[in-house]
Structure 1
Amino acid sequence: MGGTLCKIGSPLLSFLLCSLCTPLQLIDKDFFKATTDTTIDLEAVEYEQLYLAVSESCNFRCKYCRQKKTSTIENMSIVEIKNAIDIFYKVAKTPKSIVFFGGEPLLNFDGIIYAINYVRSFDDNIPFSMVINGSLCTKEIADFLSSNKVEVIVSLDGPAIYHNLARCNANGEGTYEKAIRGYKLLKESGCKTGITTVIGPHNEEFFEELIEWAIELKPNSLGFCLPHGDEDNYAMKLSSFDLVHQRMMNAYEILHKKGINLVQVEQKMNAFISGRTIPYECKACGKRIVACKGNRFGICEGPITMHDKFFDSVDKLPTCIKEYKKTSPFYIKDCRSCIAYRICGGSCVFDKLTRFGRTDIKDECRCGLTRMIAEKSLEIVLNSISNTEKCRVISQEERNNIIDKLERSLI
């Protein structure tokens, strides 16, 4: 049943529904695959993204963070950064993005400056992005990032009263004031700035306030992120994942009308309506290289401080990639009857390994949200069909012209 329902989407419907969903040109084109593509190649490797974990250290002690804590600064050296970039450009046929990650990346701002200047010496086009906690961002840093067109995502868990319950410094003090100051400096500098918000026990009951807060801050992108980790992780102790899933769908409808795209919902909804598939939710499944201190390489940013999860050569990564790819619903037979089969992507692989010790298994903590996205998408499709009853049926030539226009917009 699920496979049949998901075939309803088409480029034509996407064209008709452009006012209801995020325009396709605003979505990462590589997020989708053709509607007929429900096969996976476990051996295929197509590197296109480099994560530079420029610092493994952090000045925060967030309650749900899975990384090992250290009182010393553990940064990649300039030599290690250059080596990682050189290797990436050697093995990636089509380099598409570089992400600065941590720890807290701004603890190694000199390394970031070097990386950007070095890459720009031979590649003028590849985009940079980074995820930061906001507290270390100064006007000078914000201006530099803006002038170099670096997209910055700031971790903020809602208004101060909720943020400070989970995102603390080493002394257990709240960090909202410093984090929001950094966010505002980035916005003032003209930097493309988004927000990522972890949903946990500290804020799950207050979605209305989270929505109002986000509307006021006007981020360029917004993520309400389901928690990661095992059952003992602070953020995983939600009172009800089902309730949180429903609240996220309600948030999507409100935020979308305000011009704010809730990433977790919009991408999959566009895939469903446009008739595309999402074999993997994460680029760790063959498209990403993560480089860390000590010339170590991996594919997933989740275990950055877990050194046994990384290798001394990128040549050893395909074995891990093969195992990660088994997370795809296209590989898991039990997923094939689900309405969200084609757009699920399999959720977070590292979470599955952490909780279940295997990748080829469903993650019910996330399945519910994806099913709701598919059901909402189908509702939009059916409503659109009913609203076009009085419209004349377009000719095949007109249909082909519309589809051709859509295809050109994705180039």
Structure 2
Amino acid sequence: MIHQYKMFNQNIVLDICSGSIHVVDEIAYDMIAEFLDKDKNTLVLEMKEKYPSVETSELEECYDQILELKEQGRLFSEDIYEPMAGQLKAKTSGVIKALCLHIAHTCNLNCSYCFASQGKYHGDRALMSFETGKRALDFLVENSGTRRNLEVDFFGGEPLMNFDVVKQLVEYARSIEKEAGKNFRFTLTTNGMLIDDDVIEFANKEMSNVVLSLDGRKEVHDRYRVDYSGKGSFDTIVPKFQKLVKAREGKNYYMRGTFTHANPDFLKDVQQMLDLGFRELSMEPVVAKSDDPAALTEADREVVMKQYEDLAKLMLEYDEKKDPFTFYHYMIDLKGGPCIYKRISGCGSGTEYMAVTPWGDLYPCHQFVGEEAFKLGDIYTGVTNKKIQDEFASCNVYARKECADCWARLYCSGGCAANAYHATGSVKGVYKEGCELFCKRLECALAVAIIRDMKENNHEDADC
């Protein structure tokens, strides 16, 4: 199976199962489109009709080159991965590599689009105690098998509302990692309201990454991200974010925004972030019920599709100015990863990755917290709801029949289980609106990566 498209004057051919990417001329592009349906003589004659100035020998040579790529498994390759899907995940059964610690089920902002109900997750406000967090870290070590690198994200609500416990837990983790043969990597996700010099110093010392919530333009950000008196947070947090990012030397952070029906023209928000000096960016489409005022409409999605293309152009313009920036969804390694295990199995929610509530309950990920049917167990007795865990363990790209003919399936790995559940009622469902946006992002991301690769290697075409 292949996917062909044109963008930025490039004819791009993606071989789905091998991951090979080819940038070709018009003749090869047209010939590849009909290669499996016609024999050599018929196809060469048709191409001769379409391109009369091209010598027949050149057309035959083009055909032979395509055939060689096919024989090498770099075009029209077969999908050999389906039988591996369950086997690969079974090999890591019972091994947990990451926890999302809900250090605070409370927040000092009152964002109306918040999936976590302003940090309460449909329940009571709560702060995680040191004892609970300590047990969560022990649980992670005990269930991590031979894995050395372990990931812990301090999440909320707003985790800085429980900052003392965050510091205590990091100190505890550092005290046990050598003896346990582990290496903890910590991440902090914050709305920025409580950032001060102490937070900045601690984050720079201990946090591998810091995720900062900013929706872009002041009028957009302040529309939803308000405090309990209704006051917008933009003017408070931006100077704090700038100070933190400067202290981190512009590295190891993400400026993470959400765009909604209020701003499908989110490129203006990206530009605002750039103007403020930020270069590590992410803008996520809101996931909301169709009757929610924040939900994207069909008309909005058409705008968003164009925005993704314009974003790709903007990235290339900044490259030319020697001032590149990163956009999370456009991060693609043409020659390296991700490995086939990740492509098939997805994020690992409910198996390799779990969320922990302030009182120690386990859920497949942060987006399922509060959904009692998805409670896996707790950090004291472990996973007891094996039925739900087994459902997530079998939740790979091949578990969704709608993905069978999708060219992007080995990049999205079947998509987000939480989005699928909230859209369809099943973790093995398909969030179709999200699929459309993902495919567009992927086309743009590949085009940017290809052009960068061509410039870096100083050649006019690419074959990755």
TM-score of the two chains, using structure 1 as the length reference: 0.78
Structure 2 gaps of 5+ residues are: 4-13, 24-78
Q: Which is further off, 288-297 or 82-91?
A: 288-297
Letter in 2 for 1:205: D
Q: Which residue of 2 aligns with 1:28?
A: none
Q: Which residue of 1 aligns with 2:272?
A: 213
Q: Which residue of 2 aligns with 1:85?
A: 137
Q: Which residue of 1 aligns with 2:202?
A: 144
Alignment partner of 1:154 out of 208, 212, 216? 212
How much does 1:8 deviate? 5.2
Q: Which residue of 2 aligns with 1:58?
A: 107
Q: Give 3-state SS (helix, strand or coil) of 1:225's partner.
A: strand
Does 1:222 find its partner at 2:263? Answer: no
1:296-375 to 2 correspondences below 5 Å: 296-306=361-371, 309-310=374-375, 311-312=377-378, 313-316=381-384, 318-375=386-443
Q: Give 3-state SS (helix, strand or coil) of 1:355's partner.
A: helix
Q: Which residue of 2 aligns with 1:9?
A: 19
Q: Which digits, 9 at most, give the CA deviation of each residue in 1:60-95, with x for residues without a partner?
A: 111211223569851011110101110111001224
Q: Which residue of 1 aligns with 2:151?
A: 97
Q: Give 3-state SS (helix, strand or coil) of 1:279's partner.
A: helix
Does 1:180 find its partner at 2:238? Answer: yes
- On the 8 A contact 1:273/1:377 being kept in 2, the answer is no
Does 1:193 find its partner at 2:253? Answer: yes
Q: Give 3-state SS (helix, strand or coil) of 2:368's partner.
A: coil
How much does 1:293 deviate? 1.5
Quick one: percent identity of the two aligned structures? 19
Residues 158 and 377 of structure 1: CA distance in aligned 2, closer, same or farther (over 3 Å): closer
Alignment partner of 2:163 out of 85, 99, 109? 109
Higher strand share: 2
Letter in 2 for 1:170: Y
How much does 1:305 deviate? 4.3
Alignment partner of 2:85 out of 28, 40, 56? 40
CA distance, structure 1, for counterparts of residue 441 and residue 336 of structure 2: 11
Q: Which digits, 9 at most, give the CA deviation of each residue in 1:135-189, with x for residues without a partner?
A: 1111121112112244211110002111001111112221111221331231233
How much does 1:261 deviate? 1.5
- On the 8 A contact 1:230/1:351 being kept in 2, the answer is no
How much does 1:12 deviate? 11
How much does 1:346 deviate? 2.1
Q: Which residue of 2 aligns with 1:22?
A: none
How much does 1:132 deviate? 0.6
Structure 1 gaps of 5+ residues are: 14-34, 394-402, 404-411
Residues 373 and 189 of structure 1: CA distance in aligned 2, closer, same or farther (over 3 Å): closer
Does 1:289 find its partner at 2:348? Answer: no
- On the 8 A contact 2:417/2:428 being kept in 1, the answer is no
Q: Which digits, 9 at most, give the CA deviation of each residue in 1:12-49, with x for residues without a partner?
A: 99xxxxxxxxxxxxxxxxxxxxx964432265343111
Q: Give 3-state SS (helix, strand or coil) of 1:289's partner.
A: strand
Q: Give 3-state SS (helix, strand or coil) of 1:241's partner.
A: helix
How much does 1:253 deviate? 3.9
Residues 368 and 244 of structure 1: CA distance in aligned 2, closer, same or farther (over 3 Å): same
How much does 1:226 deviate? 1.7
Residues 376 and 104 of structure 1: CA distance in aligned 2, closer, same or farther (over 3 Å): closer
Q: Give 3-state SS (helix, strand or coil) of 1:112's partner.
A: helix
Structure with larger RCO (C-alpha < 8 A, sep 6+): 1
TM-score of the two chains, using structure 2 as the length reference: 0.70
- On the 8 A contact 1:151/1:193 being kept in 2, the answer is yes
Q: Which residue of 2 aligns with 1:68?
A: 117
How many residues in Structure 1 have an aligned counterpart in Structure 2?
A: 369
Between structure 1 and structure 2, the one with the greater Rg is 2
1:231-270 to 2 correspondences below 5 Å: 231-238=290-297, 239-255=299-315, 257=319, 258-266=323-331, 269-270=332-333
How much does 1:198 deviate? 0.5
- On the 8 A contact 1:11/1:275 being kept in 2, the answer is no
Q: Which is further off, 344-353 or 249-258?
A: 249-258
Letter in 2 for 1:60: L
Q: Which is further off, 247-256 or 292-301?
A: 247-256
Does 1:133 find its partner at 2:191? Answer: yes
CA distance, structure 2, for counterparts of residue 179 and residue 280 of structure 1: 37
- On the 8 A contact 1:273/1:381 being kept in 2, the answer is no
